[in-house]
Structure 1
């Protein structure tokens, strides 16, 4: 169920284009979104409502799907504006795919702390008694 929890957390951060997202967050969001999108044609075969639901889900997912892509590019140390050439079919698709699966920058970069260190450093250290 951690995949669904990660998906929901990423969906809640749909308006955050400034942070960083590790590979697991990006991968889980992409997998769950793809599985949901693949279920709609099966529903469409059974009832005409499936096509409508697929279109509504695609519109709802438009902005939240771009946010983890931009944050993933920030995690690799590249600019989030590289998403724009990727919108042109086949122009920048291969480069973007390689950057999505590239290792995270282990150090601080212009976009903040690495996602794994953010969680550790956001919790205050315990005081010794």
Structure 2
């Protein structure tokens, strides 16, 4: 499984905002430049993150982008799913009927367990944790 480039950019944008002080804003041009994200691509990502309730956007001279909640309340899972949709290692983890073997498939439990482990790991990874880990390096 590989997340999309769009999800990777969204994670970078949220990470950048998480490093700012509480209630601080950043211009999208600043985020794009600092995180090496094409500005036109970032505009679409910002829109999706805003719809998901992860960021606030405001226009004007004092406008910009800010986190909608504290970094400790935003998980890597939320950001990835806001962009790419639910994590799915194999189609059968969402719909057993997608496989001709259905529930009796010997591999399905492995896929389901791996998916649950990944989802749980991404759910535990908050941007407060990510920022702290990068400082410790």
Q: TM-score range by the shorter chain?
A: 0.3 to 0.5
TM-score norm. by structure 1 comes to 0.32
TM-score norm. by structure 2 comes to 0.31
**Higher strand fraction: Structure 1 or Structure 2?**
2
**Higher helix fraction: Structure 1 or Structure 2?**
1
